[in-house]
Amino acid sequence: MKVGFIGLGNMGSGMARNLIKAGHTLMVYNRTRDRAEALHAAGAKVAETPAEAASHADVLITMLADDRAVEAVIAGAEGVLQALPQGAVHIGMSTISVTLSRRLAGAHQEKKQYYLAAPVFGRPDAAAAAKLFIIAAGPRQQIERCQSLFDAMGQKTFIVGDEGSMANVVKLAGNFLLTTVIEGLAEAFALARKSKVDPNQVLEILTASLFPVPVYKTYGAMIAAEKFEPAGFKLRLGAKDNRLVLAAAEEVAVPMQMASLVRDHFLAAIAQGMSDADWAAMARIVYQSAGL
Ligand SMILES: NC(=O)c1ccc[n+]([C@@H]2O[C@H](COP(=O)([O-])OP(=O)(O)OC[C@H]3O[C@@H](n4cnc5c(N)ncnc54)[C@H](OP(=O)(O)O)[C@@H]3O)[C@@H](O)[C@H]2O)c1
């Protein structure tokens, strides 16, 4: 398939490479051109503008930081919306708000284009290894049309429903739960440390008994070692997802007290200069409040 790919950050670079490996023809765009040049060596053409990446595509994929970035490349006279051919699909794979996802579906429909939301679970290592879990929603026929792309980037695609924004809700619910895992592990390890128990031993025991779960192992190891750089998922993006969770919850009147608590820990971490550390660095705030 002819694929336009916009957003070659920690996640997008690996995803785009896997599409090339699977035999798709890629035209890539990234705001910082160096990252696009790296893909050129792997066989992609490099577009000068987002519109150029969209203009010849059967399918355009965006893997951008946040709502603002997606709006910047989609809207405007030079934007993707104007350039994408009729009948082509935009797959939005970034973690964005439920409201923007809805707006995108409407805007593409007006242009006789299709929109799928397909946010992902999995960190950059999973993106590079084509092991992402993809949560897809939108018109069923278009999901089927794009299945070979999903298969090239992920290990499993879950189909949620026919409205794109439903996939964004699932993604946000998942990320919310991850923040509670980070918070919970940090509190448990603070308790252990102040009681002269080695957090590494706590982690070893709990992940071999009650919680033999990948996320406990991954985040537990980072928090026990207090190693938050280089970031797999930047704290400022985690804070962004927490904002999106709270906005989605407010819209449907769901109190989410744990999300509110975690919000303040994110803000404290940002205030202390941790925006570019991994989002698990939020644990430092928990440690500090325990006097560690
Ligand atoms: N990392 C993870 O573990 C993970 C896991 C699942 C989902 N996600 C989601 O995946 C998305 C990408 O995450 P990432 O970790 O790849 O982030 P990243 O490394 O920070 O990359 C962000 C990408 O967005 C581009 N960008 C940012 N602002 C822009 C703007 N105003 N206009 C145009 N381009 C802009 C960046 O371009 P430049 O290169 O020019 O900065 C870069 O290509 C996010 O929505 C994130 O929440 C991340």
Q: What is the mean pLDDT of residues 259-272?
A: 98
Q: What is the mean pLDDT of residues 262-270?
A: 98
Cα separation, 69 vs 200, whole angstroms:
39
Which residues are marked as active site? 171
Residues with CB under 6 A from ligand 1: 7-12, 30-32, 35, 63-66, 68-69, 72-73, 94-95, 120, 123-124, 232-234, 237, 241
| Residue to probe by mutation, ligand 1, list 5, 10, 120, most atoms within 8 Å of CB | 10
| Residue to probe by mutation, ligand 1, list 63, 66, 74, most atoms within 8 Å of CB | 63
Taken in order of first residue, the domains within the chain and their CATH numbers are 2-162 (3.40.50.720), 169-289 (1.10.1040.10)
The count of other CB atoms within 10 Å of the CB of residue 22 is 15
Burial category of 133 from C-beta neighbours within 10 Å (exposed 0-12, middle 13-18, buried 19 and up):
middle
Burial category of 112 from C-beta neighbours within 10 Å (exposed 0-12, middle 13-18, buried 19 and up):
exposed
Q: Please state, rounded to an integer, the average pLDDT across all residues of the chain.
A: 97
Is residue 286 scored above 80 in pLDDT? yes
**Structure tokens belonging to residue 201:** 């031993």
Distance 29 CA to ligand 1 centre (A): 13
pLDDT of residue 41: 92
Is residue 75 scored above 90 in pLDDT? no
The proportion of the chain whose per-residue pLDDT surpasses 90, expressed as a percent, equals 98
The proportion of the chain whose per-residue pLDDT surpasses 70, expressed as a percent, equals 100
Q: By the 8 A CB rule, do 238 and 269 touch? A: no
Between these two residues, 77 and 36, which has the higher pLDDT value?
36
Q: Give the pLDDT confidence of 222-257 residue by residue, as tens digits.
A: 999 999 999 999 999 999 999 999 999 999 999 999
The residue contributing the CA closest to ligand 1 atom 43 is 7
Distance 69 CA to ligand 1 centre (A): 8
The residue contributing the CA closest to ligand 1 atom 24 is 64
Give the nearest ligand 1 atom to 11 CA. Answer: 16
Collect all residues with Cβ–Cβ distance below 8 Å to 74 and sequence separation of at least 6. 50, 62, 80, 81, 90, 104, 107
The residue contributing the CA closest to ligand 1 atom 30 is 69
Distance 204 CA to ligand 1 centre (A): 33
Confidence band of 66 (pLDDT split at 50, 70, 90):
very high
Distance 94 CA to ligand 1 centre (A): 7
Phi, psi (rounded to 5 degrees) for 207:
-85, -10
The residue contributing the CA closest to ligand 1 atom 27 is 65
Cis, bond preceding 199 (omega within 30 deg of 0): no
pTM: 0.95
Residue in 119, 95, 115, 97 with CA at minimum distance from that of residue 107: 115
Q: What is the mean pLDDT of residues 119-141?
A: 97
Distance 96 CA to ligand 1 centre (A): 11
Is residue 77 scored above 90 in pLDDT? no
| Residue to probe by mutation, ligand 1, list 6, 8, 11, most atoms within 8 Å of CB | 11
Q: Give the pLDDT confidence of 26-44 residue by residue, as tens digits.
A: 999 999 999 999 999 999 9
Is residue 17 scored above 90 in pLDDT? yes
The residue contributing the CA closest to ligand 1 atom 35 is 69
Is residue 18 scored above 90 in pLDDT? yes
Q: How crowded is the C-beta side of 252, counted as CA atoms within 13 Å?
A: 9
